[in-house]
Amino acid sequence: MSKKKIAIERVKTAASHKPKRVYADVLRSLSKVLKINRNVTSPIWYSGHPERETWGDWSIRVTIWNIFKGSGGEHFYNDLRLLCFQSDLIMLQEALLSHRSMDELSLDGFLGVHGCSYERADKLRDGVMTLARMRPEHVPKRILCKYPEPVLKTPKAALVTQYSLGNGQTLTVVNLHATLIRTIKRAQEELEHLMERLPASEGPMIFAGDFNTFTPRYFRAVASTLEKLGLEYVRIPNDPRRAVDHLDQLFVRGLVVESVEVDTRIHSSDHFPIRATLRVLPTV
């Protein structure tokens, strides 16, 4: 079998095993956001305790995963435990949480930081969450995207956390869930709005999450905008995702990519996780 046919079979297999969004679940979720609180007083929640204050001269195992609001139930929790065991830094999108469920997600050795997009009428908060084995060096920052979703006007958000690497450098981590429905121009404006509000830093950076890049044109626009920060796109060899599923991406600066893959073992969300092992470039 040729390499092209093998790649096609990998995409077909991945697509056939990936759960689909159930129409009834989508309607129930939409009914909860007809009335939301966009002006949350304290948009950052914390939970858990990290095992380290700083990071040493080791590789960093990173996972990026849109968790589909935890709709996978017990399968989701089992998958998350597995990914935590294999990761040092986990960047989650569509993290719909209460204080109690956030405590359940923050496993031993991890500090969880949740950046709220909005609060629903049932007091659950939707947003992005970053779990790390190290403590943030500075206070995390939640940045709302420039444009909310049309019709329901639900905002999306990015969460910025920074960690000491123990060598005088600071690692900046930007966890983004981009707006789903917008023009390419607005996708670029959304990123520029975010970039203008990032903490000043020329050190290593991880910029990742769900960019909702449904087409090659959307992706090229996103990649060219992030190049202004010196960020490079991390290409995934033999990516098994369909072209329309290339929504989750990883960009890095000042880091060497030792490995990267799409983890097709995980079936409790309609997104597969991206797993990468990164090493900080030595200082000159």
Contact 138, 124 (CB under 8 A): no
The highest-level CATH class for domain 3-34+43-280 is alpha beta
Mean per-residue pLDDT over the chain, rounded: 90
Angle subtended at Cα 148 by Cα 145 and Cα 150, rounded to the nearest 5 degrees: 155
Report the amino acid identity of residue 84.
Answer: C
Distance in angstroms (rounded) separating the CA atoms of residues 258 and 281:
12
Element (H, E) at 127: strand 125-132
Q: If you average pLDDT over residues 131-137, what whole number do you get? A: 97
pLDDT at 17 > cutoff 80:
no
Angle subtended at Cα 51 by Cα 46 and Cα 56, rounded to the nearest 5 degrees: 115
Coil, helix or strand at residue 104: helix
pLDDT the model gives residue 227:
97
Cα 214 from chain centre:
16
pLDDT tens digit sequence for 208-267: 999 999 899 999 999 999 999 999 999 999 999 988 888 999 999 999 999 999 999 999
pTM (two decimals): 0.91
Phi/psi at 161 (5° precision): -125, 150
Domain boundaries defined on the chain: 3-34+43-280
pLDDT tens digit sequence for 69-94: 988 888 999 999 999 999 999 999 99
pLDDT tens digit sequence for 218-234: 999 999 999 999 999 99
